[in-house]
Amino acid sequence: MTDAVRVAVATPLPPELRHLITEVDLRVELLVDDSLLPPMRYPGDHDGDPDFERSPAQQAAFEDLLAKADVLYGIPDTRASALAPAVRANPDLRWVQTMAAGGGATVKAARLTEDELSRVVFTTSAGVHGGTLAEFAVFGVLAGAKDLPRLQALQRDHQWAERWTMKQVREQTVLIVGLGGIGSETARLLKGLGATVLGVKRTAEPVEDVDEVGTVSALPELIARADAMVITLPGTDATAGLIGADLLASAKPGIVVVNVGRGTVVDEPALIDALRSGRVSSAYLDVFAQEPLPADSALWDLPTVLISPHTAALSSAEDRRIAELFADNLRRFLDGAPLRNVVDTREFY
């Protein structure tokens, strides 16, 4: 590619990181107007201040800026409803970088045509959040082994109980459902603690730090052997409700459940029933089928559930890591090389 490439900043990006994009190549032109973007409230706040509103003139200027771009850094306002108009108003648009590792779900929700999906490449931020989510996953496994809900209840009641034997992760078997970047890093950390690690992925080839790999069809047999299960899967039609009543009925009694993938992978009513029966001893959840989690969800009041408001992925370095990933892909784009983390527009992950 020899022509200039115009990159429009469609979601907030700290000014001190913009050089990572502009320094990729002299052909890169950055289109950004901070007055048209919502202020960030914290690192990784790609939505920005919810009270921010554009005037009609500002909205027209924002749309005009997007229409001049070859590449969008972020889905406009991180909303599927804004993506389709941006694609349709700009026949020169060739690539959109999403801020989320699971950005394929937003692309799917935009309901773009086959021609539009063929014309525009979408990439995700997969890999950026692997370390932080893997740490939360390990936290959940450890909390389940050390019986965190029991400890919290005793402390709340000012009760000094009789001592009991806590479980040791190094003596446990942990099943990781999804062995992408997050799952692989979780496996590495758990293996370092001495756990036996089982894994599930599309194909059953070996994965480093995983003792045994199976496909989805092996889930009932694998979950029956697991003391804990970590879910890292994306939300797709194929994964919706995968962790349901039948599978949980096959689980080893007292299994610990950790979800850092997508909430739609878990049948929440089935999980609630399994928690109430004790089949699942405790659950550590960062994602939910509906977010924010509705106030009337039974998950809020179950003493064996820890709720994290989809915040486990955030870190102070997230914005820099996404910008660095984008810069690497921008070099590839300019060189005509394959991009990393391209969304599969059939499965949308």
Q: Other CB atoms closer than 10 Å to residue 180's CB: what's the count? A: 17
Question: What one-character DSSP code corresponds to residue 126?
Answer: T
Catalytic residue among 46, 129, 262, 321, which?
Answer: 262
Catalytic residue among 6, 225, 279, 310, which?
Answer: 310
Q: How far apart are CA 136 and CA 347, in angstroms?
A: 27
> Is 158 labeled as catalytic in the residue annotation?
no
Helix axes 56-67, 80-88, angle to 10 degrees: 60
> Is 262 labeled as catalytic in the residue annotation?
yes
Q: How far apart are CA 61 and CA 64, in angstroms?
A: 5
Residue 283 three-state SS: strand
Residue 241 token pair: 């409700």
Q: How far apart are CA 329 and CA 266, in angstroms?
A: 33
Catalytic residue among 16, 221, 291, 347, which?
Answer: 291
Question: What one-character DSSP code corresponds to residue 243?
Answer: B
Long-range contacts of 264-268 (CB under 8 A, 24+ apart): 264/235, 264/239, 264/240, 264/289, 265/177, 265/231, 265/233, 265/235, 265/239, 265/240, 265/241, 266/231, 266/241, 266/242, 267/241, 267/243, 268/297, 268/299
Would you please indicate which residues are annotated as catalytic (active-site) residues? Answer: 262, 291, 310
